[in-house]
Amino acid sequence: MPPNPAGPVPSEGGTSIGTSAASDFFSLPRDTRALTCWGSSSMAFGRADEGTPLTARLSDRLALALAPAPVANHAVGATLSIHSLLQRGLETPTATPASSGAGTVRIALDPEIPPRAGIEFPADIAGVAGRVTCSASAWSFTPEDPAAATPTGILTSHLGAESAGSRHLLWIGKNNIRDVQGVLAHTQAMWDAADSPAEDSLVLGQWPTPSDPHGSDTGDALRAVNAEQASRYGDRFLDIAGALADPEALSRGPVAALRLMEQGGTHDAIAQGIAPPELMGSDDIHLNGWGNLFVLDLLLQRMKELRWL
């Protein structure tokens, strides 16, 4: 199994560190500020159950590393960057119910935002509190009060208020990466919404799948987004694509045992500008468990540099 990315911790029997060291460990001051994750499937799960002996979901491992600080993950697979704005309450469309009466009703959004199965968040419509849910084909709203009818009005998510005071990981836009200006604008809006934008957000760069090699439309767009965000956010931008092409990064941390630089496939991937196959899921779209641990290692290192840990 890979080394614990969060560092050594005392075992249940107390044999991994001595009594004095254990006392020191538990007396260390801990940063208890919450962390909120936004994005699509890479942030949500990837192929976390592939490759590694144990499932390696990014947010689960972050929760272990940051405990007792809470970690909330609002990422949902297949979403576009506009969905993150909707979830955070930065996009506030007008919602119109398809029918009158109490209970759950379908709603139409204006401006239109395409539905994505799995999106769910607390919200209000024109002051009526409830919950938005989404199937693959439609948005719905369920008022908290079973007797309440859903009005026509502005829909505002409560997740923005719930995440106030939190730090934020932003990994949005992969599914609409060819809309370079849209992805940049949406990420900037998420950045600006933080309590202290220059300190409270970390933008994760997009990484290239086998569908995004050098010279492809998506690959060129991905690299354009990464280059601009690296320029804008400096050390608050984590260059995952660059690390996936860096022999030193690929030879350390939790993936060291894979000996990636001894694999011909790794060298071919670097030449094509895509992620090494040993870190990819079976669908060639998502990172596997090892890929998630690779990203986790980069994240924890940067968080320490930013004094988030």
In a domain, 110, yes or no: yes
Q: Say whether both 77 and 214 belong to one domain.
A: yes
- Out of 160, 187, 208, pick the residue that ends a domain: 160
What are 280's strand-pairing partners? 287
Report the mean per-residue pLDDT for the chain. 92
Q: Say whether both 61 and 191 belong to one domain.
A: yes
In a domain, 24, yes or no: no
pLDDT of residue 173 exceeding 90: yes
In a domain, 42, yes or no: yes
In a domain, 11, yes or no: no
Q: Say whether both 184 and 48 belong to one domain.
A: yes
Q: Is 71 helix (H, G, I), strand (E, B) or coil?
A: strand
- Number of structural domains in the chain: 2
Look up residue 113 and give its two tokens.
Answer: 């935002």
Write down the pTM of the prediction.
Answer: 0.90
d(CA 88, CA 9): 35
Q: List, for residues 123-137, the tens digit of each pLDDT value.
A: 999 999 999 999 999
- Out of 104, 133, 160, pick the residue that ends a domain: 160
Instruction: Please enumerate in sequence order all residues whose Cβ is within 8 A of that of 15, keeping only pairs 6 or more positions apart, or say none.
Output: none
Q: What is the pLDDT of residue 31?
A: 78
181 and 79 Cβ atoms separated by less than 8 Å = no
Q: Say whether both 195 and 119 belong to one domain.
A: no
Q: Say whether both 190 and 241 belong to one domain.
A: yes
Q: What is the pLDDT of residue 2?
A: 43
Strand positions, DSSP E, the chain: 35-39, 71-73, 94-97, 105-110, 120-125, 128-134, 139-143, 153-157, 167-171, 201-204, 237-238
In a domain, 262, yes or no: yes
- Out of 138, 160, 182, pick the residue that ends a domain: 160
170 and 202 Cβ atoms separated by less than 8 Å = yes
176 pLDDT band (50/70/90 cuts)? very high
Q: What is the pLDDT of residue 29?
A: 57
Q: What is the pLDDT of residue 32?
A: 85
d(CA 104, CA 148): 10
Report the pLDDT averaged over residues 232-249: 98
Q: List, for residues 66-83, the tens digit of each pLDDT value.
A: 999 999 999 999 999 999
Q: Say whether both 212 and 239 belong to one domain.
A: yes
Q: What is the pLDDT of residue 5?
A: 42
User: Whose structure tokens read 């992805």?
Assistant: 183
The CATH number of residue 293's host domain is: 3.40.50.1110
**Count of CB atoms within 10 A of residue 192's CB?**
10
Q: List, for residues 181-193, the tens digit of each pLDDT value.
A: 999 999 999 999 9
Q: Say whether both 191 and 244 belong to one domain.
A: yes
d(CA 153, CA 140): 14
Report the pLDDT averaged over residues 133-160: 98
Q: Say whether both 47 and 146 belong to one domain.
A: no
CA dihedral sign of residues 209, 215, 221, 224 = positive
The DSSP result for 25-39, as a single string, is HHHS------EEEEE
Q: List, for residues 16-57, the tens digit of each pLDDT value.
A: 333 444 344 444 456 789 999 999 999 999 999 999 999 999
Domain extent at residue 145: 89-160
In a domain, 21, yes or no: no
In a domain, 45, yes or no: yes
Report the pLDDT averaged over residues 176-203: 97
